[in-house]
Amino acid sequence: MIAGGTVHTPDGPREVDVHVADGVITSLGNESAPAGARTVDARGMYVLPGAIDVHVHSRDPGFPKKEDFGTLTEAAAAGGVTTVIDMPNTVPAVDAAGVLEAKAALARAKAHVDFGLWGLVRSGTTPDDLELLAAAGALGFKAYLGYAFNVTRKQIAYSPELSDSDLEPPPDYGTLARLAPAIARLGLPLAIHAEDPGILSAFRRPLETYADLLAARPPEAEAVAIAAAAEIAGASGVRLHIAHLSSASGLAAAKEAIRAGAPMSLETCPQYLWLCDEDFARVGTAMKMFPPIRTSADRDALVDGLAKGVVGIVATDHAPHTDAEKAASLDEALAGSPGFQTLYVSCLELAHRQGNVWLAPRWVSEAPAELAGLQESKGKIAPGYDADFVIVDPNRPTRVRAETMRSRQRHGALDGMEFGFTVREVYLRGAQVAGAGRRSRRTGGRMVRPARR
Ligand SMILES: [Zn+2]
C-alpha cells in the first residue's frame, strides 16, 4: 500500500491510499491494508504513474560501451521511467521478427523496468515483414527518412557514402505510402524521423559553429517532412507519430494537417522545451542532436503547443554515446544525449509553471501509453492497472549533475539545470526499482505488447 500521498488519479489529484496485490492496483481508498502488507509512507509526496518513454536508444545489442540494457533500465528507473520503448536502430537493426525476438531475449535478461520494441521500416521492407514483426510483439514502426541501411552490417548509416554498394537507399515518401495501408491494418503507429532528406542534402556543410548546425538542418526540413507524411497518413488512415518535434514551423505544419483530419500524435523532448541555440556556449556538444535544438522562438512555440495539448507526448530520445564521442569537435561529435533522469522532474517543473503540475503525468505516462497500445494496463493509477508508481517530493529540488546519473554516459544536455521536484522512490508492478530502501537489485523487467485495437 502507498499511504498518505497526493495521488494522480483519472479523476484528478486525490489524497488517497493505493492498494496493490500481485503487482496490480486493487483499489484506491482509505480502508486499512491487509495484515503483513508493506506500507510505503508517502505523506507530503505526489504519487504519479510511472513514465512510459516511447523514444529510447538502448545501444544494446550493438554498442554496449555506450549503454547496455542493464545500465539503460537502471537509469530509466532512477528517473521514474518504468517502461522504455526502444528504437529499432540497434545492431542488427530490428527489421525482422527473428531480430526482434533475439533482442527481446537479451533485454529480458537485463531489464530493470518493462520494455517494448519498435520495428524498423527500410526501403526494402514488405508488408509481410511488418506482419511478422507485429506478431513478434513490435508495438509500432519507425522510419528514418534520409538514413540509408547497410545491408552487410545490418545497421542504419548516418553519413551514407551513396557509392557504397552495401547500402540500401533510405526509406522515402514512396516507402511510407506503400507500407502505410499495411501498418494501418495492423492497428499500429508509424513513427518518423521527420527531416526532409532533399533539404538536408541541399544545406549540408561543415559544422564549425552552432549557426552552421542550424543552417544545415533548417526547420523547413521538418515542416516539409511532416506535411508530406501527414498526407500519407490522411490517405491511408495510419496513425502517424512525429518523433522529437523541434521547430515552430514543424508544429505549424502538424497543426494544419491535424485540422485537415490527419491522424497524428506529436512528441517533443525536454531538451527542446528548455534549451535554445544561445545555450550552446554553456552546454557545448552535449546538446548536439538531430534535429537540432533551435531558437528561443522555436522553444517557446513547443512549450505553447504542449500547454495547448497539440503536442501530447514528452519522451527523452535518450541517446547516449561515450564521453570521447561527445568530446569531439562540433562537426565530429556524435548526436544525442542521455535523458531519463531529467524527464519527469523537468516536465513537472514545466507543468507547474503552466499552473497545473498534474499535466506532467499526462505527457510522460498517459498519452504515451495510448500511443504504445498499453492504455489498458499502464499510464494510470486506477484499479486493474500495473502498480508502476513514481513517488515525487514536491518540496525538494533536483540539480542535474553528472555524478548522480546512472546512464553510462553521464553528461547530458540539461546538466546544471535545477527543477523543483525530486524522484524519491520508483515501483514497477509493486516492486521497488529505485530510491532509498530498495531491497533487491533483481532484474524484473518484462516485455510489453500492445493490446488489441
Ligand atoms: Zn532518436
Cα-to-centroid distance, 219 and ligand 1 (Å): 17
**pLDDT-based confidence at 422, cuts 50/70/90?**
very high
| Average confidence (pLDDT) over 438-443 | 78
CA of 57 to the centre of ligand 1 (A): 6
pLDDT at 38: 87
C-alpha of residue 304 to centroid of ligand 1, in Å = 23
Answer whether residue 162 shows pLDDT above 90. no
Q: What is the per-residue pLDDT for 163?
A: 65
- Please give the pLDDT value at position 30: 83
Average pLDDT over residues 370-377: 98
Split at pLDDT 50, 70, 90, the class of 378 is very high
Torsion of CA 20, 396, 347, 220, to 10 degrees: -150
**How many angstroms is it from 96 CA to the middle of ligand 1?**
20
- Per-residue pLDDT for 344 more than 90? yes
Res 440: pLDDT: 75
- Distance separating alpha carbons of residues 410 and 328, to the nearest angstrom: 16
Could you give phi then psi for residue 267, rounded to 5 degrees?
A: -120, 135
pLDDT value of residue 443: 78
pLDDT score, position 354: 96
Share of the chain above pLDDT 90, in %: 89
How far is ligand 1, taken at its centre, from the CA of residue 34, in Å?
45
Mean pLDDT of 398-418: 92
Name 179's Cβ contacts closer than 8 Å, sequence gap at least 6.
Answer: 121, 125, 127, 130, 141, 190
pLDDT of residue 22 exceeding 60, the answer is: yes
Mean pLDDT of 54-74: 94
**What's the mean pLDDT when you consider all of the chain?**
95
> Is 385's pLDDT higher than 60?
yes
* Residue 438: count of CB within 10 angstroms of its CB: 14
Q: Compute, in angstroms, the gap from residue 71 CA to the centroid of ligand 1.
A: 18
Span 350-373, pLDDT tens digits: 999 999 999 999 999 999 999 999
In this predicted structure, what is the pLDDT of residue 116?
98
Residues 80-96: tens digit of each pLDDT: 999 999 999 999 999 99
* Ligand 1: centre distance to CA 171 (Å): 16
Please give the Cα distance from 449 to 19 (Å, whole number): 25
pTM value?
0.97
User: 297 pLDDT band (50/70/90 cuts)?
Assistant: very high
C-alpha cell at 352: 507547474
Flag whether pLDDT at 33 surpasses 80: no
- Condensed to tens digits (0 to 9), the pLDDT of residues 93-137 reads 999 999 999 999 999 999 999 999 999 999 999 999 999 999 999
CA of 193 to the centre of ligand 1 (A): 8
Mean pLDDT of 183-194: 98
Whether 294 and 221 have beta carbons less than 8 Å apart is answered as no
Is the model's pLDDT at 411 over the cut of 60? Answer: yes
Please tell me the distance between residue 438's alpha carbon and the centre of ligand 1 in angstroms.
Answer: 31
- Predicted local distance difference test score (pLDDT) of residue 437: 82
**For residue 453, is pLDDT > 60?**
no
CB 14 within 8 A of CB 29: no
DSSP secondary structure, 59-119, as one string: -TTT-TTT--HHHHHHHHHHHTEEEEEE-S-SSS-S-SHHHHHHHHHHHHHH-SSEEEEPE
Least confident residue range of 16-25, 149-158, 176-185, 232-241: 149-158
